[in-house]
């Protein structure tokens, strides 16, 4: 008897363990049996994505599930691959397409949308990345606040650092003591602002190679100096000048939205923060002014941002459903409206003509349509923003000067390698 009881107990335990171990998730299926999972890495559109998934599931009979993670994209994808549960469609950053794509992404070269965008990512002759939207960087301005003091302010007329300084001086004279804000975040300083220095060079690869082998002295580089001149104007008129490196992004953006500040370097994604406040409708983006005189201050910097790829680890049917979904986004009216109107993204497809609702996105769309974008350089190493960002923060805090920053950036590049492309 005792033996039997012991045996039963053992069995129960083993079963319980087996139940814990066998975590094969049975994904529910839609009407025709296909279901796809989508990984969303844009936090600000998660609720719209979930809403869309419900509608899409109901209308198309393909069950769509949307997931979000606050982890870094690479870290999250690595855990998914480690547990052997790939998403059918994953939204990643451009650099991740280069690192993950060749191994995991389906070749999308035969898709119709490839012809309608200039931003798709091609690796080894195969189109792997579907651009979700266009994002661009520049100076965000609050037109209402500026025109209250400088009535004839025209963002397209501010081309040089001197002209920029003149507007700021006029604002200060008019009572706005500190017209600028500077985001101290390492990604803003290094991955967004400093990256423009690389991107404004005709051949960023050659420029970085030159820094690496010492044939280019960064401290004497014209573009670096021109951009840093403008950065100095932003830095010197910063509302949080005394504690620039503890300024909080939300506070800065709130002040900009509500007109206490006139200018901040940023990108159209900042709208998701600005629209949380009592913002002015008269806002927009303008290129970073500089004294190069080469036309670069007529252009925003940016391009495709966030890319979808279809995973080759899911079944044929799921891959097809995933491709259908991408086509739906580009060619179906509902898909277009989802992208542009609900998510307020700037579409990367020339056939989409819907108006972008948010003012920053509208600026980006205008520059995109005018072909006035300097392209992204997507191959900076993963630790670039953190390490160079730390150096840039020292500059912002006044601990090192411009030459010191150039030295630290050069030192960083001595050991760093750009991503394969």
Which residues form the interface with another protein (CB under 8 A)?
2, 6, 9-10, 13, 16-17, 21, 71-72, 74-75, 77-78, 81, 99-100, 103, 184, 186, 242-246, 248, 381-383, 386-387, 390-391, 393-394, 397, 399
Q: How many CB atoms lie within 10 A of CB 245?
A: 15
Closer residue to another protein (CB): 78 or 353: 78
**Whole-number minimum distance, CB 387 to another protein, in Å?**
7
CA atoms within 13 A on the CB side of 17: 5
Determine phi and psi for 238, rounding to 5 degrees: -65, 130
> Per-residue DSSP letters for 181-222?
E----HIIIIIIIIHHHHHHSS-HHHHHHHHHHTSS-GGG-H
Closer residue to another protein (CB): 212 or 394: 394
**Whole-number minimum distance, CB 243 to another protein, in Å?**
4
* DSSP SS3 for 358: coil
**Whole-number minimum distance, CB 242 to another protein, in Å?**
5
**Residue 41 burial class via C-beta count within 10 angstroms: exposed 0-12, middle 13-18, buried 19 and up:** buried
**Whole-number minimum distance, CB 72 to another protein, in Å?**
6
CB proximity list for 82: less than 8 A, separation 6 or greater: none
**Whole-number minimum distance, CB 100 to another protein, in Å?**
6
Closer residue to another protein (CB): 86 or 361: 86
Closer residue to another protein (CB): 299 or 384: 384
Closer residue to another protein (CB): 74 or 172: 74
**Whole-number minimum distance, CB 167 to another protein, in Å?**
28
* DSSP SS3 for 265: strand
**Whole-number minimum distance, CB 312 to another protein, in Å?**
12
Helices (H), 67-106: 73-82, 94-104
Closer residue to another protein (CB): 367 or 395: 395
First to last CA, the chain: 70
Q: How many CB atoms lie within 10 A of CB 309?
A: 26
20/357 Cα distance (integer angstroms)? 48
Pair of tokens at residue 308: 């979808």
Closer residue to another protein (CB): 372 or 416: 416
**Whole-number minimum distance, CB 19 to another protein, in Å?**
13
Name which of 354, 226, 348 is nearest 291 in CA terms. 226
Q: Which residues pair with 89 in a beta bridge?
A: 38, 310
281/275 Cα distance (integer angstroms)? 10
Closer residue to another protein (CB): 42 or 184: 184
């Amino acid at each position: 008897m005792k033996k039997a009881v012991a045996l039963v107990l053992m069995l129960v335990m083993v079963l319980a363990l087996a139940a814990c171990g066998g975590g094969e998730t049975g994904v529910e299926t839609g009407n025709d049996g296909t279901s796809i999972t989508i990984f969303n890495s844009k936090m600000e559109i998660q609720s719209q994505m979930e809403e869309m998934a419900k509608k899409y599931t109901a209308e198309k009979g393909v069950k769509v599930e949307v997931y979000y993670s606050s982890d870094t994209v690479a870290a999250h994808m690595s855990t998914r691959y480690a547990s052997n549960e790939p998403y059918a469609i994953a939204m990643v950053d451009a650099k991740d397409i280069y690192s993950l794509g060749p191994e995991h992404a389906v070749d999308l070269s035969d898709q119709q949308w490839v012809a309608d965008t200039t931003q798709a990512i091609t690796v080894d002759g195969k189109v792997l990345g579907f651009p979700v939207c266009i994002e661009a960087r520049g100076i965000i301005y609050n037109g209402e606040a500026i025109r209250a003091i400088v009535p004839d302010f025209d963002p397209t007329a501010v081309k040089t650092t001197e002209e920029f300084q003149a507007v700021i001086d006029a604002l200060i004279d008019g009572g706005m003591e500190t017209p600028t804000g500077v985001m101290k975040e390492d990604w803003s300083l290094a991955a967004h602002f400093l990256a423009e220095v690389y991107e404004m060079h005709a051949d960023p690869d050659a420029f970085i190679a030159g820094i690496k082998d010492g044939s280019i002295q960064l401290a004497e580089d014209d573009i670096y100096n021109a951009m840093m001149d403008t950065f100095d104007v932003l830095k010197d008129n910063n509302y949080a000048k005394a504690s620039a490196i503890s300024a909080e992004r939300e506070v800065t953006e709130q002040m900009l939205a509500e007109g206490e500040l006139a200018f901040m370097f940023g990108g159209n994604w900042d709208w998701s923060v600005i629209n949380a406040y009592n913002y002015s409708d008269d806002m927009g983006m303008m290129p970073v002014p500089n004294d190069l005189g080469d036309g670069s201050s007529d252009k925003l910097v940016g391009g495709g941002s966030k890319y979808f790829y279809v995973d080759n680890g899911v079944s044929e049917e799921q891959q097809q459903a995933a491709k259908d979904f991408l086509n739906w986004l580009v060619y179906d009216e509902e898909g277009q409206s989802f992208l542009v109107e609900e998510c307020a993204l700037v579409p990367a497809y020339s056939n989409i003509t819907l108006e972008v609702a948010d003012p920053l996105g509208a600026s980006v769309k205008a520059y995109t349509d005018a072909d006035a974008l300097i392209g992204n350089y997507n191959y900076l190493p993963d630790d670039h923003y953190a390490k160079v960002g730390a150096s840039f923060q020292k500059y912002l805090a006044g601990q090192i000067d411009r030459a010191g920053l150039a030295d630290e950036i050069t030192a960083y590049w001595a050991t760093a390698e750009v991503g394969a492309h």
